[in-house]
Amino acid sequence: MADRDVELLAIGAGPSNLALAVALEELAPDLARNALIIERNQEVSWQPGMLFPEALSNTSFLKDLVTLRNPRSRFSFLNYLHSTGRLHHFVNMGSLTPYRAEVADYLRWTAQSLALVEVQYGRRSVDVSPVWTGGTLTGWTTTLADGQTIASRYLVLGTGRDIRIPEVLRGLKRERVVHSTEYQPRIAALRKDLPYRVVVVGGGQSAAELFYSVQTDLPECRPTMVMRSVGLNTYETSKFTNELFFPSFVDEFHAARPEARAQILAEMRPTNYAGVAPGMMDSLYRQVYLDRLSGRSRLQMITMHDITAARDEGDEIALEITDWRTGAVRELRTDLVLLGTGFSARMPRSVRRLAERIGLPDIAVTRDYRLVIDRPSTAACYLHGVNEQTHGIADSLLSVMANRANDILQDVLTGDHLDTLAAAPVTTPAAAA
């Protein structure tokens, strides 16, 4: 038997599952009392590697966990500001976009404010198995790192996408390569008085923030930014293209032909990827300008180059970079590589493993984010934030979370996914046929 049996288990206490928890408390209190969120960290921890003091969210505070679904909710960002005594200060700032550190604190506050949905910390999932009864999928068994198991009828995966490390850099020593998601704790552990040679890889917002921040965090370093693009560009946004981030556009995108979806994503890419926020762009250019003015030549940007090889050599890394205009190759030696390379577009490894366990040849989801399982089932699994190919570019962002949580919850409550109306109870592997 499982150590714990719940109706709904959500893995990961990030924004997506917190939005679901809020929807559960407001719309389905009975189900909320039999729901559990597990989080591997010791607290709600959103983008901890990139919580720079000056970093702003790119999303309006109105696109919080609940407001676009229920503007009167006590879980809104405005109520968070009111509860923490900072509402007047935020209003006086005159900005729609809060600081990233504020968003992180809002998420922690939300988790602490839940009254019905239980959140457990320090609980890392290492395996999820389907439970079959007489050929029907009746539930899931989730195994934790400490060996305990949790049985559930509904499973919601909200652990985010896998980080992207370019293939050419994967063989380097781990201690010398830092992805943006782990930047702050990793850099904080380094000595501040050494003249590190630092290479920042990437040409988007994450890379720009790394290049900007490392100059302060490692004051004696000499950073070099390497990108394959012709130069840094700001996000290409307008109020018209921003409408493609509306929750209502998800229906249009999902109903489009596959080739149309691909074209929309390609045209929307500069609005969210490979771009830099205007404020950061201005700050970054001023840094470079002042560096040139001082004659220090501390900062370097290398554009239109690919990293074509990399190797460890003693206490340093040797990068081979190739100018894709001329084919010229040169070597760049560094002590530290910072990756502003974002996240993989593939389904996360955890989802692919689960699909293999179920025996699915392909991973697909319904409009309501339910994993398509081609066998009889009285259970269901839902995927958060990894469905850009079928639900649009906003899927991994804060913009649609409140409405997505409602879509998932309504699918659970209506029972449209059930092949057998009289649902069988959740069983453990030992009892499964």
Distance of CA 277 to the CA centre of its chain: 18
Looking at residue 421, its pLDDT comes to: 35
Predicted confidence (pLDDT) at residue 428 exceeds the cutoff of 80? no
Question: Which CATH architecture group holds 167-235+275-339?
Answer: 3-Layer(bba) Sandwich (3.50)
pLDDT, tens digit, 9 for 90 and up, residues 44-101:
998 888 888 888 898 999 999 999 999 999 999 999 999 999 999 999 999 999 999 9
Predicted confidence (pLDDT) per residue in 330-364, tens digit: 999 999 999 999 999 899 999 999 999 999 999 99
Query: Do residues 288 and 200 make contact, with C-beta atoms less than 8 angstroms apart?
Result: no
Using CB atoms within 10 A of its CB, is residue 164 exposed (0-12), middle (13-18) or buried (19+)?
Answer: middle
Query: Mean of the pLDDT values across residues 365-386?
Result: 96
The pTM of this model reads: 0.92
Q: What is the pLDDT of residue 357?
A: 94
Whether 4-162+344-431 and 167-235+275-339 share one fold: the answer is: yes
**Which of 137, 125, 162 has the alpha carbon at shortest distance from 357?**
137
The whole-number average pLDDT for the span 146-159 is 97
pLDDT of 431 > 80? The answer is no
Number of CB atoms found within 10 A of residue 260's CB: 12
Q: What is the pLDDT of residues 238-287, one digit of tens each?
A: 899 999 999 999 999 999 999 999 999 999 988 888 799 999 999 999 99
Least confident stretch, 50-54, 93-97, 320-324, 325-329? 50-54
- Please tell me the distance from the alpha carbon of residue 85 to that of residue 160, in angstroms, as a whole number: 31
Residue 157 near residue 350, CB atoms below 8 Å: yes
- Indicate the pLDDT class of residue 302, thresholds 50, 70 and 90: very high
Strands 149-157 and 136-144 come out as antiparallel
CA 382 to chain centre: 16
Instruction: Report the side by side order of strands in the sheet with 329-334.
Output: 305-313, 316-323, 329-334
What are 171-206's pLDDT values in tens digits?
A: 999 999 999 999 999 999 999 999 999 999 999 999
**% of the chain with per-residue pLDDT over 90:** 87
**CATH superfamily entry for domain 4-162+344-431:** FAD/NAD(P)-binding domain (3.50.50.60)
Give the pLDDT confidence of 218-227 residue by residue, as tens digits. 999 999 999 9
pLDDT band (50, 70, 90) for residue 418: low
Ordered by start, the domain boundaries in the chain are: 4-162+344-431, 167-235+275-339
H or E element at residue 411: helix 401-414
